[in-house]
Amino acid sequence: MKIEAAAKDDLKALCEIENGLFDKNSFALTQQNFLYHIKKNPLFICKIEDKAAGYILLLTHKKSAKLRVYSIAVKNEFQGKGIGLKLLEKSFAYAKKTGKKSIKLEVNTTNYHAIRLYEKAGFVKSGIASNYYPDGADALLLEKLL
């Protein structure tokens, strides 16, 4: 398994991961979105024997001491093998390297698998954002101090 910064060559694979998991009408990222993030933001892709298995997209602002996990996804056939946790660990390493004090994210309150993963990785609840998603679902706000 290797986790590396995503490049333009990974665009197709990133879209395949995304479209296999997220409803196109929700917050699914498009090829154009991925291209933008590859240029502007930390975006790491996990490959297993050169097959793309998952990615994590981070948002960072110079003035903020917090790094944000904007999106994390692992292809169905690769789930449950610890890749999600490895991608989060990559984000912790990136946050520390860039001097951030904490890492935060939002997750649908009904996304139990993801919430378990985040709790296992050391995130704790920092709040709730009501009506956060397009379908009106609430988001759980989680944060991990580094």
Ligand X SMILES: CC(C)(COP(=O)(O)OP(=O)(O)OC[C@H]1O[C@@H](n2cnc3c(N)ncnc32)[C@H](O)[C@@H]1OP(=O)(O)O)[C@@H](O)C(=O)NCCC(=O)NCCS
Q: Which residues bind ligand X (CB under 6 A)?
A: 21, 72-74, 79-85, 107, 111, 113-114, 116-117, 120
Strand order of the β-sheet with 2-5 is: 2-5, 43-48, 51-59, 66-74, 102-108, 139-145, 124-129
Nearer residue to ligand X within complex by CB, 13 or 107: 107
In angstroms, what is the minimal distance from the CB of 86 to ligand X? 7
Q: How far is the CB of 22 from ligand X (least distance, A)?
A: 7
Instruction: For ligand X, give the closer residue by CB, 63 or 86.
Output: 86
By C-beta, is 3 or 63 nearer to ligand X? Answer: 3
| Helix, coil or strand: residue 14 | helix
Instruction: Select 103 or 107, whichever has its Cβ closest to ligand X.
Output: 107
**Helices and strands in the chain: count of H runs, count of E runs:** 4, 7
Question: Which residue minimizes CB distance to ligand X?
Answer: 84
The CA distance from 3 to 52, in Å, is 10
Smallest separation, CB 118 to ligand X (Å): 8
What span, in angstroms and rounded, lies between the C-alpha atoms of 111 and 60? Answer: 24
Cα separation of 37 and 57, whole Å?
A: 8
What is the bridge-based pairing of β-strands 66-74 and 102-108? Answer: parallel
Report, in Å, the least distance between residue 63 CB and ligand X: 24
